[in-house]
Amino acid sequence: MAIAALLAITAFVIPIGKFINYLLFSPKLDEVRGAALITIGLILVLIATILLAYKIEDRFTAPGVVQGQSESYLYSPAAGFLNELHVTSGAWVEPGELLLTLKNPELDIEISITEAIIEQREFYFQLAQRQDFSTLNVWQGMIRTERERLRIMHNDRANLEVRAHTAGFWFSPDLQHMQGMRIERGQEVGRIVPRDTSRFVAVVSQTEAAKMFEGAEWRAQVRLHGRAGTVVPAEVTAVVESGRRLLPSAALGWAGGGTIRTVENDQSGRLAAEDFFEVRLMLDQQKVAELELLNGQRGRVRIATGEITVGAMAWRWLRQLLQRRLPVMISAPSVTLRHHQDSHAQKA
């Protein structure tokens, strides 16, 4: 706190004090001091009027992507290396249609070894039938165990063919650059989006989100990448509180050509370097039908949160500047934002 006080004194108090001392006591102003005081007073009144009375629209912009509201994510049922893509991203697929094929050389080797073990133990079982009946149950148990392992491995091999579980548009832009790379069991490989309503999901910094919770109303419109002249009306439907790091699309991160800074070693390109708020907006469906929007299209949303005086905007800018320069002296923004979010929900 002492550093902040010293900074304020150095930047504001000392220069203002010197100016007041010069204005009141400097011999150079003896003949015109009255006129100077009147002039300074009028200037201060004008500045105060502008700061306290003049209002402007409070707004901000944020990057985001178009999403199908009822889209379903598809996860790899088995681990393996991406061998072949059978459907291009954006194409329509039917239930059961083959989307991609993985290969797992280690699994093939394990299956061959297990089949050899079963063959060997069946030989000893047949031998025991002729020579030592006391070991028959032991050999039978071992054979059953190995056959169960083999059944599971054959299921894993079948799961190397990933198929669509529902009809819709198949989107997997990240897989285009993952040929030959390993995909783990349970890893997201794409999304299937039916013909349904579309929404826009925006990534909003904590600083910009604070404006939303301070505002009384939210008005939004979306401009899409490559269609800057077209405006799509939108309505904010949800604000997911801070603490999120996983971007809704890799296209928003640096690796995908977006503006959000991501973690350097993250292969998915979706792990943001800083926490953010996720703002979800329902797009005007008539406009969506006219434009034939595709899932994953990038854009920017402009959200207006009402009017604000110039003075309030200047004070907020100064407060945010101090938060960036002196973060250890300012309490966590997420706590303040959570309070504003609860207050806004109560008003609604």
Tell me: pLDDT of 142 over 50: yes
Q: In this structure, which amino acid lies at residue 106?
A: E
Give the end of a domain, one of 192, 217, 239. Answer: 192
Answer yes or no: do 217 and 341 share one domain. yes
Q: Does 34 map to a domain? A: no
pLDDT of residue 199: 84
What pLDDT, on a 0 to 100 scale, did the predictor assign at position 30? Answer: 76
What pLDDT was estimated at residue 69? 60
Q: Kindly state the DSSP code that residue 262 receives in the 8-state scheme.
A: B
State whether 141 and 219 are in the same domain: no
348 confidence band (pLDDT: 50, 70, 90): very low
Mean pLDDT, the chain, integer: 80
Higher pLDDT, 292 or 130: 130
Across residues 171-176, what is the average pLDDT? 80
- Looking at residue 71, what is its pLDDT? 67
CA 280/CA 274 separation, integer angstroms = 19
Is there a single domain that holds both residue 233 and residue 186? no
Number of domains in the chain: 2
In a domain, 110, yes or no: yes
- Is 245 contained in some domain? yes
- Count CA within 13 A, CB hemisphere, residue 172: 29
**Burial zone of 302 (CB within 10 Å; 0-12 exposed, 13-18 middle, 19+ buried):** middle
What per-residue confidence (pLDDT) applies to 70?
A: 66
Which comes out higher in pLDDT, residue 51 or 216? 51
In this prediction, residues 110-134 reach a mean pLDDT of: 85
Same domain, 288 and 209: yes
pLDDT of residue 170: 87
| pLDDT for res 323 | 66
CA distance 59 to 300: 13
Residue 8: per-residue pLDDT: 61
Segment 81-91 mean pLDDT: 89
Is 205 inside a domain boundary? yes
Alpha helices in the chain (DSSP H): 2-8, 14-25, 33-53, 105-131, 136-158, 206-214, 285-291, 310-325, 333-347
List, for residues 294-305, the tens digit of each pLDDT value.
778 889 999 988
The Cα-based distances of 176 to 98, 180, 243, 253 in angstroms read 16, 11, 30, 17
Same domain, 276 and 147: no
pLDDT band per the 50, 70, 90 thresholds, residue 21: confident
Does residue 330 carry a pLDDT above 50?
Answer: no
* String of DSSP letters for 48-109: HHHHHH-EEEEEEEEEEEEEETT-EEEE-SS-EEEEEE-S-TTEEE-TT-EEEEEE-HHHHH
Q: Is the pLDDT confidence value at 344 over 60?
A: no
Indicate if 85 and 140 belong to the same structural domain.
Answer: yes
Verify that 76 and 62 share a domain, yes or no.
Answer: no
- 68 versus 263: the higher-pLDDT residue is 263
| Pair (153, 269) in one structural domain | no
Q: Which of 166, 192, 218 is the last residue of a domain?
A: 192
Q: Are residues 176 and 307 in the same domain?
A: no
Asked whether the whole model's pTM tops 0.75, one would answer no
In a domain, 304, yes or no: yes
Please tell me which of 70-79, 132-141, 152-161, 215-224 the model is most confident about, judged by mean pLDDT.
152-161
Candidate ranges 100-109, 241-250, 286-295; pick with highest mean pLDDT: 100-109
Q: With pLDDT > 70 as the criterion, what percentage of the chain qualifies? A: 83
Based on the domain organization, do 183 and 225 belong to the same domain?
Answer: no
Rounded to an integer, the average pLDDT of 96-120 is 92
Q: Is residue 29 part of a domain?
A: no
Per-residue model confidence (pLDDT) at position 164: 92
Better-predicted residue by pLDDT, 79 or 295 = 79
With cut-offs at 50, 70 and 90, classify the pLDDT of residue 333. very low
More confident residue, 337 or 141: 141
Higher-confidence residue: 166 or 196? Answer: 166
Res. 9: pLDDT tops 80 = no
Helix (H, G, I), strand (E, B) or coil at 198: strand
Q: Are residues 211 and 333 in the same domain?
A: yes
Q: What is the CATH number of the domain that holds 113?
A: 2.40.50.100
Name the DSSP class of 293: -
For residues 132 and 259, state if they share a domain. no
Structural domain including 167 reads 72-192
Decide: residue 126, CB within 10 A, 0-12 exposed, 13-18 middle, 19+ buried: exposed
User: 14 in a domain, yes or no?
Assistant: no
Please determine, for residue 19, whether its predicted confidence score (pLDDT) is greater than 70.
yes
Domain boundary among 151, 177, 192: 192
What average pLDDT score do residues 47-72 get?
Answer: 80
* Domain harbouring 272, CATH code: 2.40.30.170
Q: How confident is the model at residue 161 (pLDDT cuts 50, 70, 90)?
A: very high
